[in-house]
Amino acid sequence: MYHFIGKQVRVHLYSRDGTAVGSITGRVADVAEGVEVADGMKKDLVLVVDIDTGDPETPYKNSAGMEGESWFAVQDIEIIDEDRPRLFAN
């Protein structure tokens, strides 16, 4: 998991019912493995900082109201690498 730190990523955002709503970009600053996100459900998470929404008038705010950073599940990120074709899987 630590190989994600420092990587530029695209985060695919979904509504609570699983509908894709868009994407943002940022840089991975930290990782947390096996975090319990609901009763009996654990996920590996990454902290994404320097989040760019693509609209300078609308900065990204997480659920706590902090701008420009948030935790996301690893399965929702895509490493942005100029040397490889764009793939959803990491």
Q: Residue 4: helix, strand or coil by DSSP?
A: helix
Mean pLDDT of 15-31: 93
Q: Where is pLDDT greater, at 2 or 51? A: 51
| Residue owning tokens 């990120």 | 77
What pTM was estimated for this model as a whole?
Answer: 0.84
Mean pLDDT of 73-86: 80
Q: Which of 31, 30, 26 is nearest to 12 (CA)?
A: 26
Domain ranges for the chain = 2-79
Backbone angles phi, psi at 50, to 5 degrees: 55, 45
Instruction: Write out pLDDT tens, residues 32-69.
Output: 999 999 999 999 999 999 999 999 899 999 888 999 99
Q: What is the dihedral of CA 33, 13, 89, 52, to 10 degrees?
A: -90
Choose among 29, 31, 25: nearest CA to 80.
Answer: 25
Cα(71)–Cα(83) distance, rounded to whole angstroms? 26
Residue 86 has pLDDT above 60, yes or no: no
What mean pLDDT is reported for the chain?
89
Asked if the model's pLDDT at residue 84 lies above 90, the reply is no
| Residue 27 pLDDT | 96
